[in-house]
Amino acid sequence: MSVDAKDPLSSSLLTLMALAIGVIVANLYYLQPLLHQISKNFHVGTARASLLMTLIQVGYAIGLAFVVPLGDIWPRRRLAVGIFVLAALMMGLAATLTSFTLLALITLVIGLSSVGGQVLVPLAADLAEPAQRGRVIARVMSGLLLGILLSRTVSGLIAQVAGWRSVYWAAAGLLAVMAIVLHRVLPDEPAREHVPYRKLVASVFSLYVTQRQLRRRAYFGMVIFACNSALWTTLSFLLAGPPFHYSNAVIGLFGLFGVAGVLAANAAGRQADRQRAHASTIVASLLLLVSFVILALGRDSVILLALGIMVLDTGMQGMQITNQSVIYSILPEGRSRMNSAYMVSAFAGASIGSFLAGQLYAHFGWYGDCWLGAGLSVSLLIPAVLWRNSRQVVAQLSVADVAP
């Protein structure tokens, strides 16, 4: 049941792509509510256990740099299915390991093999009508956000009943099923000009030099992902310790507080289509700063922690959709490479945020992570206010995107 790439992007295909993106991106976040349990299982400290989050994000960044660009020269149907199959194999392998060192190595590969969603997002952008692109991106990204939210909750619930290894087995099975479905329903694409792989990868990094708006949005992406990691890498340690002493299941449920981010993503998509990217950027930056103030005040309060999570996810996802709406308008024929360049920066930020969060939590506790997040938010807000030409650029790009 293959869909021709020339057909309009149907609602059912868009929904399926959103679901697939959510399924594979979940690989990056199953770990977060499990870190305290893995720490005990392998008898390692919080700082060392937190390195797993750093490694999975580094692996993802490597995949973004060296795998996702292939989407501009290979049929994305074949590429996406292959990535899903590899991810299923790696998750199944991780479930069998008894060595923390080997788990760390496979975690790196899991990150690399979880980039399938970033092949599908630019495909959806290609299939969308230019005037609807922001909303289409928001819809597929809603699948990604739900994957992130549900991964934390499902991970905690499964681990509570059957242990953390069962989470990996379940994920492997789900990925395998999705690979079969994608093989059947993703559209065929016309042959594209062959580009040598070395030149293709080099062109990803050259975009940082030639595209000013990409540099700016890549910086925003790097900081918001670092902020996100500052929260989620250490939250399970906080919730598992005093005064909360929560179980895996309860810790996983905290992921549901980020549902506000799904609503923010759709609102940001509409604002991007209306050429209001600059205002959305400033609002999102302010929300991130406010969220870490609330989180710091909520060190011993479930209500304030929940509120802080909701505000942070709203700010992050609003900024993320705005960023992607801008960069997908810059170079229509190279959206996979643009997406790759942007997301490499984003997950470089995520890995740095995870590393710093683990170290600061080990030395200064929860407040150390909140100081980190607040500082990052300030470094986001200042350029968000100063870089005033985003709106005009988006308007110019929107015209160029529909020009013959």
Residue 2 burial (10 A CB sphere; 0-12, 13-18, 19+) = exposed
**Alpha-carbon span 148 to 142, nearest angstrom:** 10
Q: Which amino acid is at 15?
A: T
Instruction: State the CB neighbour count (10 A cutoff) for residue 311.
Output: 24
State the Rg of the chain over Cα: 20
Whether 395 shows a pLDDT value over 50: the answer reads no
Lowest mean per-residue pLDDT among 62-76, 108-122, 247-261, 347-361: 247-261
Instruction: Write phi, then psi, for 324 (nearest 5 degrees).
Output: -70, -35
Instruction: Write phi, then psi, for 399 (nearest 5 degrees).
Output: -65, -45
Residue 293 CA to chain centroid, in angstroms? 23
Question: CA distances (Å), 45 to each of 133, 226, 235, 390, in order?
Answer: 45, 22, 15, 44
DSSP β-bridge partners for residue 188: 4
**Alpha-carbon span 151 to 145, nearest angstrom:** 10
**Alpha-carbon span 266 to 59, nearest angstrom:** 29
pLDDT tens for residues 194-240?
778 888 888 888 999 999 999 999 999 999 999 999 999 899 899 99
Q: For 245, left (φ over 0), alpha (ψ -120 to 50), or beta?
A: left
pTM, entire model: 0.77
Reduced to 3 states, what is the DSSP secondary structure of residue 3? Answer: coil
pLDDT tens for residues 107-166?
999 999 999 998 898 888 777 777 777 678 778 877 887 888 789 899 999 999 999 999
Question: CA distances (Å), 174 to each of 46, 73, 92, 178, in order?
Answer: 29, 28, 11, 6
Lowest mean per-residue pLDDT among 3-17, 241-255, 272-286: 3-17
Give 11-402's CATH code, choosing from 1.10.260.40, 1.20.140.10, 3.40.30.10, 1.20.1250.20.
1.20.1250.20
Whether 390 shows a pLDDT value over 50: the answer reads no
Q: Give the sign of the dihedral formed by CA 86, CA 90, CA 93, CA 99.
A: positive
Mean pLDDT of the 356-373 span? 94
Whether 102 shows a pLDDT value over 60: the answer reads yes
pLDDT tens for residues 83-98?
999 999 999 999 999 9
Helix boundaries (H) for 163-276: 164-185, 197-210, 212-240, 248-253, 260-273
First-last CA distance in the chain: 32
What per-residue confidence (pLDDT) applies to 392?
44
Domain boundaries of the chain, sorted by first residue: 11-402
What per-residue confidence (pLDDT) applies to 307?
93
**Alpha-carbon span 303 to 199, nearest angstrom:** 51
The mean pLDDT value of the chain amounts to: 85
